[in-house]
Chains A and B, each alone.
Chain A
Amino acid sequence: MNPTTPPPVLESAPGYRINALTGAATGTSRELSAPLSAEITAALSASPSGEIAVRSVDVNIPLLEKNDILAERNRGYFLGRGLAALNLVSSPGAGKTTLLERTLDEFGRQTKCAVLVGDLETDNDGRRLSRPHAPVAQITTGTVCHLDAGMIARAAQSINLDGVRVLFIENVGNLVCPASFDLGEQVRVVLLSTTEGEDKPLKYPPIFKSAHLVLLTKVDVADVLGFKRDVAVENIRRIAPQARIIQLSARTGEGLAEWYSFLDGISGRV
């Protein structure tokens, strides 16, 4: 690593706000390490040929957008701290916050968790999730329809992550744009609720394609709604054969043991 490499400059006046509701960081904010940007700089400056100037050069330089570079930094930072980061994405109202509330109350009692939650406006979700034992920061994006890696870098520095093993990032409710923004998470979780159609994965494939885990939520009301679970599962499998699928209900508790054991698995792996 080149110690002279400056860390990427975050926007000086971002259009979003971060409000640390519980467990706010005290003292100076931690500097993120910058191994990747150093690597990228080194890769860019490495000469692929000898000393003789050549007219045609095979360079093979990957082009990374600013978000990808910041996301890789976040990933390194999270791994370095030994915490598993999950990016939860879904349509608005699929049950992300309700699931996280119960998860913090149950799983979060044994394993220290933190939450970064994004919405266009209001601190409502941050307040709902706020618990003495779990640091929570609300990111209010204004008009932005997704979270990006820069917001996560800032928000992660706004709370005290000491002892935290699992970091939940509750994305803005949107099944389109969040698919294109890597936040540096280890696991991307896509929620599909039974109040939506079984064909959602077919209609919004990119986000499902990128999922490591798909949670089929609100399964307690599936029958009432005439929602065919097997059809939904088959549709998920067609788009995302790599994804693990857990069917659950945050209200009745069905499937939550499986979700918690998944969280145990990833927090133990980091």
Chain B
Amino acid sequence: MESALDAIRQQAAKHAATRVSRIVLRVGALVGVDQEALRFAYEAMAPGSIAAGAVLEIESVPARAHCVACNEDFAADRGFIFQCPKCRDFSADIRTGRELGIARLEFP
């Protein structure tokens, strides 16, 4: 959250804004970031910072893996074994779910 606030400060300066009204974070299912903990950290750190009063939006990105044999992506939402629902082959080719970053900012 500290690195996020740093980045927001830099972006605000870039856009000649003194505060930010909305922060959209993108969080993949596989990065191990707990959304509750993220909100808690935000609420603890936002007051008094550039993000004071901003709305925090968290965009979840589901985990998807790619099956080479079927040449198709599938939902990798059953724990740590990524198995193609069609051919039952195992996959290590993760296509989405590892995102962690600031997607969008809104300045008033």
Contacts and interface: CB of A to CB of B under 8 A. Distances in A.
Interface in B86-108: 90-92, 100-108
Contacts of A206: 80
Contacts of A66: 3
A205 B80 contact: yes
Interface string A56-80: 1111111111100000000000000
B92 A63 contact: no
A66 B2 CA distance: 10
Nearest to A206: B80
Contacts of A64: 3
Given A56-B106, A57-B107, A240-B92, A205 B100 contact: no
B11 to A, nearest CB: 6
A5 interface: no
B80 A239 contact: yes
A102 interface: no
Contact of B79 (A58, A59, A60, A205): A205
A9 interface: no
Interface residues of A, number: 29
Interface residues of B, number: 27
B37 interface: no
A269 interface: no
A122 interface: no
A143 interface: no
Nearest to B1: A63
Question: Which of A65, A206, A241: most chain B CB closer than 10 A?
Answer: A241
Contacts of B80: 205-206, 209, 239
Contact of A45 (B14, B22, B104): B14
Interface string A36-61: 00000000110101000111111111
B74 to A, nearest CB: 14
7 tightest A-B CB contacts, nearest first: A205-B80, A242-B92, A241-B90, A62-B101, A61-B102, A241-B92, A56-B106
Interface of B: 3-4, 7, 10-11, 14-17, 22, 32, 79-81, 83, 90-92, 100-108
24 contacts: A44-B7, A44-B10, A45-B10, A45-B14, A47-B14, A53-B16, A54-B15, A54-B107, A55-B107, A59-B103, A61-B101, A61-B102, A62-B101, A63-B3, A63-B101, A66-B3, A205-B80, A206-B80, A238-B83, A239-B80, A239-B81, A241-B90, A241-B91, A241-B92
Given A44-B7, A61-B102, 6 more contacts: A63-B4, A205-B79, A206-B80, A209-B80, A237-B90, A239-B80
